[in-house]
């Protein structure tokens, strides 16, 4: 065939088009035949099958929610479990007049306005054939009363659901957290909403929230055939749910209980870690609350009492409380100064009890009015000399202070596997320019060196920082999850410790020097925490801190009795022990507690004793 390129062959084109049209027509007819074949298959050959399904019976698909994983402490003590509870549920499709049914039910069983409004909300989210909970937590009597009258209420059922229960109550409220009813917003944010079709609860805080995915599991379902009255005739198909994994936390409930007792009566927090692995042994924030109140909806009165309490029991001080770290930063800054060769271990600075910059008139006080006299770094840490560190700050400058403290972890979240951690603050020139639109003043460097001013740290960060010292610079990922165990193969999968990084130093002996200085804080008679070191059967390295809440004029004298309790200093203490082979690192913060050495250190000692002196396993309540 000769193809002409420039001159159009209309007849050829038309013929080509017609050929293609015929092909298209044949294809369309073929596809139409396929449709007819499919319809014949459905309407003729499977007709009986579908008629049965449609005419006499209906097929319901009922989601079966998976059982939520349990939570244990490191020794297998149960922290969160599932207990059966009765729920009154309505399947909208089977009820002609929902309002009338609810009204009739309320004569039998107490149903509050809140129950009804919540029920309406659920009603909009669920399919008509899915049962919607109306009342939770029926007691035995109510369940019995309904069962007797059940014939009057087609489409209303009592279901035994599993409800979350925290046997340890308020002891682990801030670490394990709690589940509560899933709300509309959470439902909308789910990536896989159908996985939650049968689920009523959702992890709201703590580990329950962080490991929601692991704990929840995978929904199953049942295709059931019911007759016109809704009675289940048979199960056509059952895909069982996959239960959520059990979690073993790093928490030692024994230690946790002792930590809580030690803090009793104070507002504050204790975090204890195993330095070598980054495992959290105890994490407590007081006052605390009973998480069981939240599981099935807390009543307004109890909630208000918690929410508006002056002591803020709902506030997780351990990882959301941001406090001025006070003198607990001194060992780290001392290390920074040694590393930068600004001073040597033997460098002496004279402390007259105050410090003055050339540029301004203000006197920066030492906590000790008469001064420490000639002071070395060891003495400065041991006795917490402020003037020594004012001098260091002047020589280091804020940039180097900020950079080194950031390496330790100040100003950054630890990345613990509990939702909601705050990052604290390690100020820098750049930060101040950005947030305050002001240059950095040298005076601010001085107070930063004693952990005041802008600097903020959480108890968790302080514990992690103390673990860094214990590890001689190795930073371990702080974590709560020790092992997971899926319920179908019952194999415990341990979580390996993760090294985050190593704080780089030029002279490793500097670590030893700082640790020795911290040991003398506790064990030297002049040390600021000697009262806990005097009779200690093991060696402790520690550092006290007393953080000002209340700004004072340069020459005012601090008399704690004169100051309202809420304005009193925060007491802080960080420590690790035993010094040679650290097994535990701890941070204690007592809000308005007064002195770090007098209040916080003895509390820390109780925790250290409990961990180091008791037999390792077994829970003795």
Partner 1 sequence: MIDLQGRGDSRIDGGVKHREYARKLHLDWPLVAGLLVLSAVGLLILYSASGQNEALMQRQLIRIGLAFAVMVVVAQISPYFLERWTPWLFCIGLLLLLTVLVAGDVGKGAQRWLDLGLFRFQPSELMKIAVPMMVAWYLADTPLPPSLKRLFVAMVIVVVPVVLIATQPDLGTSLLIAASGLFVLFLAGVRWRLIIGTTVTLAASAPALWAVMHDYQRARVRTFLDPERDPLGAGYHIIQSKIAIGSGGVYGKGWLNGTQSHLDFLPERSTDFIFAVFSEEFGLIGVCLLLLLYLFILIRGLYIATQAQGAFGRLLAGSLILTFFVYVFVNIGMVSGLLPVVGLPLPLISYGGTSIVTLMASFGILMSIHTHRKLMSQ
CA distance 343 to 334: 9
Are 606 and 263 contacting, i.e. CB atoms less than 8 angstroms apart?
no
Q: What residues from 180 to 219 belong to the interface with partner 1 (CB under 8 A)? A: 193-194, 197, 219
Please, which residue, 223 or 363, has the CB nearer to partner 1?
A: 223
Please, which residue, 92 or 371, has the CB nearer to partner 1?
A: 92
Q: Of 85, 163, 327, 376, which one is the catalytic site residue?
A: 327
Q: Would residue 131 show up in a list of annotated catalytic residues for this protein?
A: no
Interface region with partner 1, contact rule CB under 8 A, candidates 4-12, 75-83, 308-316, 335-343: 4-12
Beta bridge partners of 158: 88
Q: Is 235 in the site for partner 1 (CB under 8 A)?
A: no
CA distance 362 to 368: 17
Among 67, 78, 82, 93, binds partner 1 (CB under 8 A): 93
Residue found under tokens 């509870």 = 85
- Neighbour tally for 434: CB within 10 Å: 9
Q: Is the peptide bond before 595 cis (omega within 30 degrees of 0)?
A: no
Q: Is 320 in the site for partner 1 (CB under 8 A)?
A: no
User: Nearest-5° angle of CA 366, CA 372, CA 375?
Assistant: 110
Please state the closest distance from residue 8 (CB atom) to partner 1, in A. Answer: 5
Beta bridge partners of 576: 541, 585
Q: Is 22 in the site for partner 1 (CB under 8 A)?
A: yes
Q: What residues from 126 to 145 belong to the interface with partner 1 (CB under 8 A)? A: 127-128
In terms of DSSP bridges, do strands 57-64 and 78-90 run parallel, antiparallel, or are they unpaired?
Answer: unpaired
Q: Which whole-number Å values give the CA distances from 351 to 218, 397, 597, in the listed order?
A: 66, 20, 21
Q: Is 24 in the site for partner 1 (CB under 8 A)?
A: yes
Among 86, 119, 210, 221, binds partner 1 (CB under 8 A): 221
Please state the closest distance from residue 21 (CB atom) to partner 1, in A. Answer: 5
Please state the closest distance from residue 13 (CB atom) to partner 1, in A. Answer: 5
Please state the closest distance from residue 123 (CB atom) to partner 1, in A. Answer: 14
Please state the closest distance from residue 133 (CB atom) to partner 1, in A. Answer: 17
Reading the block at residue 198, the tokens are: 């049968």
Among 2, 7, 490, 559, binds partner 1 (CB under 8 A): 7
Beta bridge partners of 499: 476
Among 59, 111, 116, 442, binds partner 1 (CB under 8 A): 59
Please, which residue, 42 or 567, has the CB nearer to partner 1?
A: 42
Please state the closest distance from residue 449 (CB atom) to partner 1, in A. Answer: 50
CA distance 438 to 67: 55
Q: Is 13 in the site for partner 1 (CB under 8 A)?
A: yes
Q: Is 17 in the site for partner 1 (CB under 8 A)?
A: yes
**Burial class of residue 32 in the structure, from the number of CB atoms within 10 Å of its CB (0-12 exposed, 13-18 middle, 19+ buried):** exposed
Please state the closest distance from residue 231 (CB atom) to partner 1, in A. Answer: 16
With b for 16 or more beta-carbon neighbours within 10 A and e for fewer, the 80-91 pattern comes to: bebeebbbbbbb
Please state the closest distance from residue 155 (CB atom) to partner 1, in A. Answer: 14
Please, which residue, 25 or 509, has the CB nearer to partner 1?
A: 25
Interface region with partner 1, contact rule CB under 8 A, candidates 44-52, 112-120, 155-163, 165-173: 44-52
Torsion from C-alpha of 574, 576, 577, 580, nearest 10 degrees: -130
Rounded to 5 degrees, φ, ψ at 358 are: -65, -30
Interface region with partner 1, contact rule CB under 8 A, candidates 54-62, 100-108, 204-212, 362-370: 54-62
170 closest CA partner among 306, 338, 308: 306
Q: Is 296 in the site for partner 1 (CB under 8 A)?
A: no
CA distance 115 to 89: 12
Active site residues: 327
Interface residue list for partner 1 (CB under 8 A): 4-9, 13-18, 20-22, 24-25, 28-29, 31-32, 34-36, 38-40, 42-44, 46-47, 49-51, 53-55, 58-59, 61, 63, 93, 127-128, 193-194, 197, 219, 221, 223
């Amino acid at each position: 065939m000769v193809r002409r390129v420039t001159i159009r062959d209309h007849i050829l084109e038309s013929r080509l088009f017609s050929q293609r049209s015929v092909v298209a027509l044949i294809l369309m007819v073929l596809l139409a035949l396929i449709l007819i074949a499919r319809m014949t298959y459905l309407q003729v050959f499977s007709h009986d099958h579908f008629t049965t399904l449609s005419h006499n019976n209906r097929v319901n698909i009922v989601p079966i929610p998976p059982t939520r994983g349990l939570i244990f402490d490191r020794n297998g003590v149960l922290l969160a479990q599932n207990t059966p509870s009765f729920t009154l549920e309505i399947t909208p499709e089977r009820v002609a007049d929902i309002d009338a049914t609810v009204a009739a039910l309320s004569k039998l069983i107490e149903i509050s306005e809140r129950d009804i409004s919540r029920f309406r909300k659920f009603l909009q989210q669920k399919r008509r054939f899915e049962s919607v909970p109306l009342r939770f937590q029926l007691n035995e009597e109510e369940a019995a009363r309904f069962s007797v009258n059940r014939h009057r209420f087609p489409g209303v059922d009592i279901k035994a659901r599993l409800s979350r229960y925290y046997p340890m109550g308020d002891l682990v409220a801030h670490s394990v957290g709690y589940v509560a009813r899933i709300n509309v917003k959470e439902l909308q944010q789910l990536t896989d909403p159908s996985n939650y079709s049968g689920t009523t609860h959702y992890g709201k805080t703590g580990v329950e929230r962080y490991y929601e995915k692991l704990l929840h599991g995978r929904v199953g379902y049942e295709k059931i055939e019911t007759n016109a009255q809704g009675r289940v005739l048979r199960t056509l198909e059952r895909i069982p749910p996959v239960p959520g994994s059990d979690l073993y936390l790093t928490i030692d409930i024994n230690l946790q209980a002792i930590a809580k007792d030690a803090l009793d009566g104070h507002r504050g927090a204790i975090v204890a870690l195993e330095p070598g692995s980054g495992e959290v042994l105890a994490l407590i924030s007081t006052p605390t609350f009973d998480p069981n109140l939240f599981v099935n909806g807390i009543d307004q009165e109890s909630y208000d009492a918690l929410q508006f309490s002056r002591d803020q029991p709902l506030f997780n001080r351990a990882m959301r409380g941001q406090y001025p770290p006070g003198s607990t930063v001194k060992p780290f800054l001392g290390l920074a100064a040694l590393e930068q060769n600004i001073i040597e271990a033997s460098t002496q600075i004279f402390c007259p009890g105050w410090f003055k910059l050339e540029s301004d008139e203000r006197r920066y006080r030492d906590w000790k009015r008469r001064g420490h006299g000639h002071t070395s770094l060891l003495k400065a840490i041991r006795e917490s000399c402020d003037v020594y560190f004012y001098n260091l700050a002047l020589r280091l400058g804020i940039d180097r202070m900020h950079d080194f403290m950031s390496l330790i972890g100040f100003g950054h979240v630890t990345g613990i596997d509990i939702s909601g951690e705050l990052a604290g603050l390690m100020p820098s020139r750049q930060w101040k320019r950005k947030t305050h639109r002001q240059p950095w003043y040298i005076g601010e460097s001085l107070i930063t060196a004693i952990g005041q001013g802008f600097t903020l740290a959480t108890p968790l960060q302080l514990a992690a920082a103390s673990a860094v010292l214990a590890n001689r610079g190795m930073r371990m990922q702080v974590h709560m999850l020790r092992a997971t165990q899926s319920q179908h193969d019952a194999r415990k999968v341990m979580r390996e410790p993760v090294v985050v990084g190593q704080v780089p130093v030029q002279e490793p002996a500097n670590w030893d020097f700082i640790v020795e200085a911290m040991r003398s804080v506790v064990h030297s008679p002049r040390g600021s925490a000697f009262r806990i070191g005097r009779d200690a059967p093991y060696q402790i390295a520690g550092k006290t801190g007393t953080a000002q809440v209340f700004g004072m004029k340069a020459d005012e004298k601090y008399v704690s009795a004169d100051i309202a309790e809420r304005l009193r200093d925060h007491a802080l203490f960080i420590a690790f022990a035993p010094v040679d082979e650290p097994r535990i690192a701890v941070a204690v913060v007592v809000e308005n507690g007064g002195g770090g050495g007098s209040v916080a250190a003895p509390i820390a000692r109780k925790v250290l004793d409990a961990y180091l002196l008791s037999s390792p396993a077994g829970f003795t309540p």
